[in-house]
Chain A
Amino acid sequence: MTQESTPVTDTHEPLVSVQDLQIGFQTGNGFVQAVKGVSFDIFPGETVAIVGESGSGKSTTATGLMDLLPSNGRITGGTVMFNGKDLTKVSKSEMVGIRGREIGYVPQDPMSNLNPVWNVGFQVREAVLANGMAKNKKDADKRVVEVLKEAGLADAERRVKQYPHQFSGGMRQRVLIGIGLAADPKLLIADEPTSALDVTVQRVILDHLESLTREKDTALLLITHDLGLAAERASKVIVMYQGKIVESGPSLELLQNPQHPYTKRLIAAAPSLASQRLKSSRVEVAEAPQGDEIDLVAAAAHRHDVVEHADHAGTPAIEVKDLTKVFSIRRGSFRSEPFTAVDKVNFTVPRGTTMALVGESGSGKSTVAKMVLGLETATEGEIFVAGKDATVLTGKEMLEHRRRMQPVFQDPYGSLDPMQSIGSIIQEPLDVHKIGDRKSREQRVNEVIDEVALPRTVLSRYPNELSGGQRQRIAIARALALKPDVVILDEAVSALDVLVQAQILQLLADLQEELGLSYLFITHDLAVVRVVADDVAVMEKGKIVEHGSVESIFSNAQTEYTQKLLDAIPGANIPLGA
């Protein structure tokens, strides 16, 4: 492993050379090894990406390089050679000198990484002064404005006195990038720098980061869960799995010709890459996926055939007419002003099909879902479910309406009551609707747990014992218990790791085919839409700006906004072999 990743013939010295790095954490259940012998090199000016799922050890590796591990973590072996020094052995004060000046750092969540009680200028100035980038106060102030301007804050002079809460997420991330690069370090470590941002902002920030590092010839170590993003931005990709490197190499080669079964699995499951392939591979996906491997392309192609035969003529599962929601927002202390979250929205979901509602945060898509579910009252408009107007239902009719339509929410940790056993969670809808007797309810619970492919032994368990994906299966089982016609999926796969996400998408497709379900699929992720939906409506600021079949939207987007969303799918422009 060591020989393979260290080039022997080249005269260039690597900037960073990590050899057999091992990092562990002291936890309540003893010492846990999180990074188990990782080796890689980063050359000056090069961009390297580490890709992996949560728990793969990718972030631990990154923070380990500059000794930013949480207090219960420590490096247990290996070396990190940087500028002729072994960073695992340098003293604390030497490390202080290296951080910021030699190695910069851009964290993941812009909302929590700036100190709320100091103004932005102060926090940048700290970085400037600590790394000797200015001699006096005047120089420092000048440099602060420079740094912020470079990071893309146009009105930097005016904004230095402002506090973090007065900045948007994207702006804060620009400040953090500015801080990371303030002392022109030789290496910048960016740990999921855009995962917390809206997709369109993500792209802008990444472009900026890329041009800055190229300009300054800074090497970049990019940590990400998104293979498409990694391949698009980095020259070399390292795939980590359970604390080890399973595959690494030039990004294009890795993507086009993956060798390790895990890498193959990741590529097959990544929606952004799958949708990219979909165009070219429609013809040849006839070959079935092997074994238990999930291939989103195959799945998507298959469901396409099914949908062709769906009933487009009958009563639509959901029909929404001029749906409007106006909230009153507090402005200052005494006034409130109306805010239109959803503005005259119209769409139909034909029976047995999937309609995706796409938009960024604040677009109003979740409010639509809540109104359809009857969890928010509509200010105006009508919602027809199976031909009945749900906005005027009361009492018994409403109960009947709810039986037909069930939700699955985003957060698999929050959507199950932690105090109840899985069995009683799934049984709750049956109890509420007083369906059958005790025995038939138990039988139905067993049926649905089989349908979502979980063993019946989980019924006596509690939600905290299950993984995220398993919990989402339970949420789906609960939704299915009442044999609904429509399932509203509100960001139902967004919180899951790629492989798990692919599995759940597969399950949803299977269930739709078996049970003839109609889905309203709320998401911010256009890449996922491509593989699951038949129709798409794109929402922006409460309005539907574009509406059509998946194919028409993806091949021929009419509005600039939709095009922007499409462009923002990482990896969309990588030519994938075959």
Chain B
Amino acid sequence: MPKPEHFVAPFDENEMAEVDKVKLNEKPSNLWRDAWRSLRTRPLFYLSLAAVLVIVLMALFPTLFTHVSPTDDCQLANSNGGPAAGHPMGFTRQGCDVYARVVWGARTSLTVGVLATVISGVIGIITGALAGFYGGWVDSVLSRIGDIFFSIPYILAAVVIMTTLADYRSVWTLAFAIGGFAWASLARILRSEILRVKSGDFVMASIATGRTRFKTLLSHVLPNSMTPVIVYLTISLGGAIVAEATLSFLGVGLGPSVMSWGNDISAAQSSLRTAPMTLIWPSIFLTVTVLAFITLGELVRDALDPKARARG
């Protein structure tokens, strides 16, 4: 084996950078700004955002979309009729305008969806955060309670509640029936995220400066654990809308007099063979709404955590 040469590269070939120097961009960047930058480039983001906005507008101002009354202008003569001038989607079995009913139905879906999500969000965040951060017996007690709620599929629980509360059916009871049982998975997600975040040295550093544990939880741990919560809540808003529709479909949602996509689909099933479009139109609105929320949630997740995209 030959003795190796002592090779030295010309000094000017590699410019020696100053040790440990990082070039800073002009604009400061952080998680949210980066996420926004990446969201802005996704056409799907605008599409689902637009869909959500339209649904929200429909829920708030249905008269912007239709002047036909969904209940008063019904004529049995039009029963299951096809599209006609001013009635682009035809008529229901009761002779009501399908388009008007679909527009007015958005309000129920959205209200129940939002309320149920807020309820499950509040319960889930409080229990998940306390269980994850404090550990020990707090965790044991809260997690066991969570296990119990997790073991009852929330549609079933809602069925039971709505059956017993048949006389008290309202948007609120429905929202509680759905949200009151859907929080357990959020609590689990947040708990494990908090366990991950709290092991970070910056939490230790904050406590070492003299901050109380509770204030550290609020100022450092929770803000850093919110990504999966936001994503979960956006997606579960879609889930709550499905739950409302399913319960209405089963006849244990809001009363049949309330306009809701679930009720309409339920009422239309007997006409499936003769007038399938009376069932398909509310189904399309329901599906598109849910799709918009779920897509939005997933796009936000992709933007906040580029690795999640790979993991799917």
Contacts and interface: CB of A to CB of B under 8 A. Distances in A.
Interface in A416-465: 416-421, 428-429, 432-433, 457-458, 460-462, 464-465
Nearest to A468: B20
A5 B7 contact: yes
B209 A402 contact: yes
A249 B4 contact: yes
Interface string B1-35: 11111111101011011111110110011110000
Given A244-B13, A260-B9, A415 B1 contact: no
Interface string B245-266: 0000000000000000000000
Given A259-B8, A416-B202, A402 B1 contact: no
Contacts of A261: 11, 16
Given A43-B2, A245-B7, A259-B8, A373 B220 contact: no
A4 B7 contact: yes
Contacts of B20: 467-470, 499-500, 503
B28 A403 contact: no
A406 B6 contact: no
B209 A432 contact: yes
Contacts of B30: 418-419, 421, 462, 464
A369 to B, nearest CB: 10
B211 interface: yes
Pick the most buried of B11, B30, B223: most chain A CB atoms within 10 A of its CB.
Answer: B30
B209 A461 contact: no
B205 A44 contact: no
A1 B208 contact: no
Contacts of B3: 250
A420 B13 CA distance: 40
A250 B6 contact: yes
A14 to B, nearest CB: 9
Contact of A464 (B29, B200, B211, B223): B29
A40 B207 CA distance: 52
A374 interface: yes
B28 A4 contact: no
B94 interface: no
B312 interface: no
Contacts of B4: 5, 235-236, 248-250
A402 B201 contact: no
A467 B21 contact: yes
Interface in A395-420: 398-399, 402-403, 406-407, 409-411, 414-420
Nearest to B205: A415
B210 A399 contact: yes
A230 interface: no
A469 B22 CA distance: 10
B206 interface: yes
Interface string A233-260: 0011000011011111110011000011
A482 B205 CA distance: 13
Contacts of A470: 20, 22
Contacts of B223: 419
A339 B275 CA distance: 73
Contacts of B5: 4-5, 7, 248-249
A286 B40 CA distance: 59
Nearest to A430: B209
Contact of B22 (A10, A244, A260, A466): A466
A45 interface: yes
A410 B209 contact: no
A247 B4 CA distance: 12
Nearest to A10: B2
A314 to B, nearest CB: 25
A429 B205 CA distance: 10
Interface string B198-222: 0011101111111100000000100
Nearest to A420: B220
A538 to B, nearest CB: 25
A417 B220 contact: yes
Contacts of B6: 247-250, 253-254, 259
Contact of B1 (A44, A428, A458, A482): A44
Given A419-B224, A461-B24, A407 B204 contact: yes
Contact of A414 (B11, B25, B200): B200
B210 A403 contact: yes
Contacts of B200: 414-415
Nearest to B19: A499
Given A417-B224, A460-B28, A470-B22, A402 B7 contact: no
A327 interface: no
Nearest to B18: A292
A57 to B, nearest CB: 12
A535 interface: no
Contacts of A12: 1-2
Contacts of A475: 205
A303 interface: no
B208 A407 contact: yes
Interface in A497-513: 499-500, 503
Given A248-B7, A411-B201, A462-B28, A428 B206 contact: yes
Nearest to B30: A462
Given A245-B9, A464-B30, A375 B208 contact: yes
Contacts of B21: 467
A87 to B, nearest CB: 21
Interface in B125-173: none
A499 B200 CA distance: 25
Contacts of A259: 6, 8
Contact of B208 (A402, A414, A461, A469): A402
A482 B11 contact: no
A411 B31 CA distance: 20
Interface string A1-15: 100110101101000
A204 to B, nearest CB: 27
A46 interface: yes
Nearest to B15: A242
Nearest to A411: B201
Nearest to B199: A414
11 contacts: A12-B2, A43-B2, A250-B6, A259-B6, A261-B16, A373-B208, A374-B208, A420-B220, A429-B209, A475-B205, A482-B209
Given A12-B1, A461-B28, A503-B20, 14 more contacts: A7-B5, A242-B17, A249-B4, A249-B5, A409-B205, A414-B200, A419-B31, A433-B210, A460-B28, A461-B24, A462-B30, A464-B30, A465-B28, A466-B22
The 10 tightest CB contacts between A and B, nearest first, are A249-B6, A415-B201, A469-B20, A409-B201, A429-B209, A10-B2, A462-B30, A402-B210, A259-B8, A467-B22
